[in-house]
Amino acid sequence: MGSWGAGLYSNDIALDLKSAVAAIVKLPFESEQLIKMLAEAFPEEASHEANEDYTTFWLVLADQFHKRGIDCPDVFSRSLEIIDSHSDLQMQESLGMDAKELKKREKYLQKLRSKLCQPVIEKPLKTLKKPQPLLMKQGDVILFPVSSDGKSINSYYSESEFQKLNWNQSNWGAAVIVDCGHVFEYLAYYCPIIQMRCLEDNRKPTLDMLQGAVGWRLAPAVTCNKIHFRRMKIDILANIKLNQKKLQKQFPTIPNGIYAAVNDITIGNELKIYAGPWWKDPAQIEFLKEIVAS
């Protein structure tokens, strides 16, 4: 992706990784296991030295772990090697960073180096005692209110903040949870297929109406906590039994949820319907019967 500044957190991968570490450290595992999980979530960046974000991955990881009081000697030594060998500066230069910004980058790296050479001050971590609850299960048909442009309620607004917005419900959207579970045994994720267009009738849909609705798309895996579920006014209409063979045939690459769970990508990012042309995102199936058990 390249950098858009000299700072350690001046690119998208660095910010994604920062969020990922915040999620991962909630798990009740040793540091070695946490590192392995992060490497699984960012396989290219973590493993391939030729990747443009390889150095960023290990530098950010070292900074975040040291800051959070997690002692990881292997990560720290790898990062020190990256700094001392100038491999990060060489990568940034190859990506187009000019001399002025490279000098700034070097100052940031030397500051990080000084930090990593200091003893880690261990801090108590608040970890999950049990897996996150699954608010929806496979086969759940869910409804959610949408505005005239097909967008659902922004789940990041509190009730009081939402009241100040000029948001009005125009219709309903619908989705079916085709997969769900836990990443690393603790972090919940969901994978929905979403009805792509408004139904002609603006009434709250029934299951019969949805079974006749045309056009469903597979969305990326997402997360959903109780607060977002409530704020988006998600309603579980029914549960339908899915045929696993049909599901596999229609959607052979259902996302496994690792990236979504680690980066806490909320369901609000995907619950929307299209008011525009179909060609923007073609449907993968026409009718629900294509994946429902007979």
d(CA 39, CA 53): 13
How far is it, in rounded angstroms, from Cα 218 to Cα 247?
Answer: 11
Considering the chain, what is the average pLDDT of its residues?
A: 90
| Residues spanned by the domain of 204 | 140-290
Q: In whole angstroms, give the CA distance from residue 271 to residue 294.
A: 27
How does strand 171-183 pair with strand 140-146?
Answer: antiparallel
68 touches 21 (CB < 8 A): yes
> Based on the domain organization, do 203 and 286 belong to the same domain?
yes
CA gyration radius for the chain? 22
* Predicted TM-score (pTM) of this structure: 0.78
Are residue 148 and residue 279 in the same domain, yes or no?
A: yes
Contacts of 244 (CB under 8 A, 6+ apart): none
Q: Which of 268, 290, 276, 253 is nearest to 196 (CA)?
A: 276
User: For 179-202, what is the HEC assignment?
Assistant: EEEEECCCEEEEEEEEECECCCCC
* Residues 179, 88 share a domain: no
- Specify whether 144 is located in the same domain as 199: yes
Residue 165 to residue 17: CA distance in whole angstroms: 32
pLDDT of 278 over the 70 cut: no
Q: Residue 130 above 90 pLDDT?
A: yes
User: Cβ(285)–Cβ(241) under 8 Å?
Assistant: no
SS (H, E, C) 25-67: CCCCCCHHHHHHHHHHHCHHHHHCCCCCCHHHHHHHHHHHHHH
Residues 192 and 282 in one domain: yes
Rounded Cα distance between 274 and 199, Å, is 11
Which tens digit of pLDDT belongs to each residue from 104-120? 999 999 999 999 999 99
> Is residue 4 situated within a structural domain?
no
Same-domain check for residues 28 and 169 = no
User: pLDDT by residue (tens digit) across 257-274?
Assistant: 988 988 889 999 999 887
Burial 150-164 (b: 16+ CB within 10 A, else e): bbbbebeeeeeeeee
268 and 214 within one domain: yes
At 60-104, the pLDDT tens digits run 999 999 999 999 999 999 999 999 999 999 999 999 999 999 999
For residue 237, name the pLDDT band (cuts at 50, 70, 90): very high
93: CB partners within 8 A, 6+ apart: 102
The answer, yes or no, to whether residue 136 has pLDDT greater than 80, is yes
- What are the CA-CA distances from residue 242 to residues 74, 93, 167, 247, 292 (Å)? 46, 52, 35, 7, 4
Residue 25 lies in a domain: yes
The helix (run of H) or strand (run of E) holding residue 87 is: helix 87-94
Eight-state DSSP code of residue 271 = -
- Please tell me the predicted confidence (pLDDT) of residue 277: 54
Same domain, 144 and 285: yes
78 and 39 in a common domain: yes
d(CA 5, CA 21): 21
Residues 208 and 280 in one domain: yes
How many folded domains does the chain comprise? 2
Q: What pLDDT was estimated at residue 1?
A: 45
Classify residue 122: in a domain, yes or no.
no
Q: Do 285 and 145 share a structural domain?
A: yes
